[in-house]
Every structure is written in C-alpha cells, then in structure tokens.
Structure 1
Amino acid sequence: MGNDAAPLSRSGEAGFTLLEMLVALSIISIAALTLVRLDAFAVRTAGDLDESTLAGIVAQNRAVELWSDTAPPTIGNSTSGVANAGRNWRIEQRVAKTADDSLLRIDLTVRPEAGRGQAVLTIIRPSR
C-alpha cells in the first residue's frame, strides 16, 4: 500500500489569508463609516431638538401674552418677530372664530429665523 494522500499542512501554522484580511478590513471600515454618519445625525438632531424646545417656550410666552391681554386679538393671520434666548424668532398667528361666538381659536407657529426647529401651539380664549 502506497501513501498516495497529499501531505497535510502543519497543524501549528493556522492563520488568515490576505483575502480574508481584506474582507475583514472592508467590513470594519463600512461599520466605522456608518457609525460616523450616525454620530453626525445625532448631533444635528440634538440641535433641532434644542431649537424646537426653545420655539415651544417662545410659543408659550406668546400664548400667555394673548391670554392675559384684555383686548382680544383681531381675526385673521399675522406674522411678528421676537428675540428670545439670544435668537430671533418668527411667530405666525392665526385667529379664527369658533362655533361658540364667545371663544376665539388662536393657532401659533414659531420658527427660528435661521434654523430648522419649530413649535405649534393652539389656544382658546374669550372673544370679549
């Protein structure tokens, strides 16, 4: 009986081929790029959330002004600007009658003059 089998590789020399290393590095680099993009998205989202929160505060301040004013606002749409928290804000106000003549519906939309966040608030107040 002859020994026709191919010689076995040495058992102590197990390792990765160049192709396996290139595939592994490609997968790691794609994962790293994905994490970098996700981090940039998180930073941008945090900035938008900050602006939306401040816009909500500006909207609440305007609502308190409208609610506490003795004279009701005029019916229709108007736009005004206000400075708050070191930023300039644009307030869009829509005043409309409700089914009850003694009440007004006021829709406020607040946006920063430069930025992406916004807040929307609706209040009901007496028309007299």
Structure 2
Amino acid sequence: MTEHDTGFTLIEALVAMAVLAVASAGLIRATSAHIDLIRGVEARTIAGWVAENRLVEATLPAAATLPATVTMLGRAWQVTTTAKPSDDPDLAAITVSVTPQGATQPMATLRGFRDARSIAP
C-alpha cells in the first residue's frame, strides 16, 4: 500500500451517504409524528379550557345568552351546553361539549352542577 491508498473509496463514501439518508428519513418521520402529537395535545388543552370557561359561565345569571361558537387562541370551537335535572331538586346537571369547528366528535366534555333555579342555557 502506498500513501495514496489510505482514504475512502467511492463505494465506501456512497454506502456511508446511503446510511445517512436512511437515518435522516427516519428522523424526519419521527419528528413529524412528534409534531402531530404535540398539536393534538395543544388542541385538547385549548378545548379543555373552553369547556372549563363555559362550565363557569353556565353558572352565571346571564347563561341563556352564551354563544354557540367560541374563539380561543385563534381557533373556532363549537360549544354545546345542556342542563337537566339531577337527583337533587336544588341542582341541575350541566354537560359542556367542545368540538373543533368543522369536526363531528367533541374534543372535550365536562360535567358539573349549578343551582336549579338559575336560567337554563
């Protein structure tokens, strides 16, 4: 061997580049899946906040005037609030469902109680 034979051959360099390309594609796919997961967690968190806000608003005297669509953090949410009698005649059971605009399934649902004599939503 001479001093010129100590480097990588073209085949070795191509194999190394192919391994890096496959590893990079896997890393990009994993990163994309992680971003989708984080977006889902973010959306569920915002939907939970909308539901919590609506549950509190439903206990206020002006609960009959609550809008069906709420915008929070730049996203539109459909909010459905239902009240029905509970086993205790002094309390009404409230269910709040929050659905992203254009979706069919609620992303968050909360249940609570309020004074049965207050105005129904």
Q: What TM-score results when the alignment is normalised by the length of structure 2?
A: 0.65
Partner SS, residue 58 of structure 2: helix
Of 61, 66, 79 in structure 1, the residue corresponding to residue 58 of structure 2 is: 66
Q: Structure 2 vs 1, CA of residues 117 and 80 (structure 1 numbering), >3 Å: closer, same or farther?
A: closer
Q: Which residue matches 2:98?
A: 110
Flag structure 2 segments of 5+ consecutive residues without an equivalent: 1-10
Which residue identity lines up with residue 99 of structure 2 in the other structure?
R
Indicate conservation of the 8 Å contact 1:49/1:117, yes or no.
Answer: no
Partner SS, residue 37 of structure 2: helix
% identical aligned pairs: 26
CA RMSD of aligned residues (A): 3.4
Report how many aligned residue pairs link the two structures. Answer: 111
Q: What TM-score results when the alignment is normalised by the length of structure 1?
A: 0.62
User: Which of 44-53 and 116-125 deviates more?
Assistant: 116-125
The higher radius of gyration belongs to: 1
Q: Which residue matches 1:15?
A: none
Map 1:21-36 onto structure 2 (within 5 A): 29-36=21-28
Q: Which residue matches 1:57?
A: 49
Indicate conservation of the 8 Å contact 1:89/1:110, yes or no.
Answer: yes
Of 90, 112, 120 in structure 2, the residue corresponding to residue 123 of structure 1 is: 112
Flag structure 1 segments of 5+ consecutive residues without an equivalent: 1-17, 74-78
Q: Which residue matches 1:12?
A: none
Deviations 1:2-36 (A, max 9, x none): xxxxxxxxxxxxxxxx7xx96x8776655443322
Shift in Å, 1:41: 0.9
Which residue identity lines up with residue 46 of structure 1 in the other structure?
I
Indicate conservation of the 8 Å contact 1:52/1:117, yes or no.
Answer: no
Measure, in 2, the Cα distance between the counterparts of 1:67 and 1:86: 26
User: Are residues 1:43 and 2:35 paired?
Assistant: yes
